[in-house]
């Protein structure tokens, strides 16, 4: 028996070609593409403007790698954390973050992560596999629908800041952004999308070569190599000098301002000297800085910096004429805040143990 293929891996041109080989008119390919990406169909039988024989032929040759909801938690601040089942019994997480100013979907790009950042719960899991473009788009669609149904809000922003490193799943990540922004897909502006990376210099340059239109955020967290390597192993192979060079290249190619994410830890990177190093490093490109309060995870030795230290840190940067936002964490009571994904999700922990 011939193995079925994932139909969502086909481009619209490839889909039209397949339908013609089946003896169908080209417009059928366009209809199916719309069902897959604009209407987010999970089954071929949902495609009601196709004949039953055609739907049966599609079922014989293809499958749809659609994710399903396993569990959902709602925080006291209205943040929603979702655990999604994907094929092979694996679980990923996505988060909807509603505020007065915006409604953001935070999505995952991999199952687990290979980078092992010391402050991140996902980093304690091994990398199991990359997500497909469709699995990333599905997270956005579900969280968008939750924003509408529960809070009567439109989705304003998408951040690839969940489980995994997006630049290590480059092709699928890029295709997912194309589907999200395409008129044949979700039709969102690329300026509403931010890709967050732990810092892989050659892939940041590739973003520049591809002249992407979305935003880029670098998880910095320390602006000297010794400290950054202590908490982020990736810095050993992608040090600050290489990242600075890559960011300059990216900005020259795209004209896009870069965001530096800086989780601030008590007695580690919260001193004025640390702020001085950050302000010097940040001169490499037009940027803004998001200072993020630390969210505790199991088995980690870090603590949250005091409000006074955070304010002094931010004030120093502002006095250097930098754009600074202090991000107060949301969803902490359900482990949905920055760095906490997979922290207490039993299904994910069980899955990771089985695969060891």
Catalytic residue check, 308 = no
Q: Which residues touch 164 (CB under 8 Å, ≥6 apart)?
A: 108, 109, 110, 111, 112, 113, 122, 127, 130, 131
Q: What is the per-residue pLDDT for 345? A: 52
Q: What is the per-residue pLDDT for 296? A: 75
Give the bridge partners for 130, in sequence order.
110
What angle do helix axes 240-254 and 201-209 make, rounded to 10 degrees?
Answer: 10
How many other C-beta atoms are found inside a 10 Å radius of the C-beta of residue 223? Answer: 20
Two tokens at 291? Answer: 């200072």
Q: What is the per-residue pLDDT for 341? A: 47
Domain-by-domain residue ranges, the chain? 5-63, 68-355
Note whether 125 and 105 are within 8 A (CB).
no
CATH of domain 5-63: 1.10.150.530
Two tokens at 316? Answer: 């120093």
Tell the residue number behind the tokens 């199952």, with chain if given: 111
Express each pLDDT in 199-213 by its tens digit: 999 999 999 999 999
Write out the H or E segment, with its range, that includes residue 100: none
Catalytic residue check, 93 = yes
Active-site choice (106, 113, 287, 338)? 338
Note whether 8 and 36 are within 8 A (CB).
yes
Active-site choice (93, 165, 261, 352)? 93
**Low-confidence spans in the chain with pLDDT less than 50:** 337, 339-341, 343, 346-356
Q: pTM of this prediction?
A: 0.91
Express each pLDDT in 211-247 by its tens digit: 999 999 999 999 999 999 999 999 999 999 999 999 9
| DSSP output for 1-61 | -PPPEEGGGS-HHHHHHHHHHTT--HHHHHHHHHHHHTS--SSGGG-TTS-HHHHHHHHHH
| CATH entry, 68-355, from 3.40.50.2300, 3.20.20.70, 1.10.3130.10, 3.40.50.720 | 3.20.20.70
Express each pLDDT in 137-180 by its tens digit: 999 999 999 999 999 999 999 999 999 999 999 999 999 999 99
Q: What is the per-residue pLDDT for 347? A: 45
């Amino acid at each position: 028996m011939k193995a079925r293929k994932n139909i969502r891996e086909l481009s619209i041109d490839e889909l039209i070609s397949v339908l013609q080989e089946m003896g169908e008119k080209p417009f059928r390919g366009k209809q199916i593409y719309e069902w897959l990406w604009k209407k987010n169909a999970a089954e071929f039988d949902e495609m009601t403007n196709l004949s039953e024989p055609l739907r049966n032929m599609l079922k014989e040759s293809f499958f749809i790698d659609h994710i399903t909801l396993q569990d959902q938690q709602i925080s006291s601040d209205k943040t929603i954390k979702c655990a999604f089942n994907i094929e092979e019994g694996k679980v990923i997480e996505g988060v909807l973050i509603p505020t007065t100013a915006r409604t953001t979907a935070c999505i995952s790009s991999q199952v687990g992560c290979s980078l092992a950042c010391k402050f991140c719960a996902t980093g304690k899991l091994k990398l199991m596999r990359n997500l497909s473009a469709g699995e990333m788009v599905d997270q956005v669609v579900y969280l968008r629908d939750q924003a509408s149904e529960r809070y009567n809000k439109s989705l304003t922003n998408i951040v690839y800041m969940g489980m995994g490193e997006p630049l290590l799943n480059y092709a699928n990540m890029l295709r997912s952004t194309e589907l999200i922004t395409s008129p044949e897909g979700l039709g969102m502006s690329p300026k509403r999308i931010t890709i967050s990376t732990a810092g892989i210099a050659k892939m940041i340059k590739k973003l520049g070569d591809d002249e992407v239109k979305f935003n880029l955020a670098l998880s910095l967290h320390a602006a000297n190599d010794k400290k950054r390597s202590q908490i982020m192993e990736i810095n050993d192979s992608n040090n600050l000098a290489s990242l600075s060079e890559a960011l300059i290249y990216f900005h020259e190619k795209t004209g896009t301002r870069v965001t530096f994410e800086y989780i601030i830890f008590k007695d580690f990177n919260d001193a004025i000297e640390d702020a001085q190093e950050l302000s010097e490093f940040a001169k490499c490109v037009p940027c803004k800085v998001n200072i993020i309060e630390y969210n505790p995870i199991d088995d980690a030795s870090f603590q949250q910096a005091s409000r006074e230290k955070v304010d002094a840190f931010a004030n120093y940067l502002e006095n250097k004429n930098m754009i600074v936002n202090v991000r107060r964490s949301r969803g902490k009571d359900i482990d949905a805040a920055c760095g906490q994904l997979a922290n207490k999700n039993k299904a994910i922990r069980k899955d990771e143990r089985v695969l060891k």
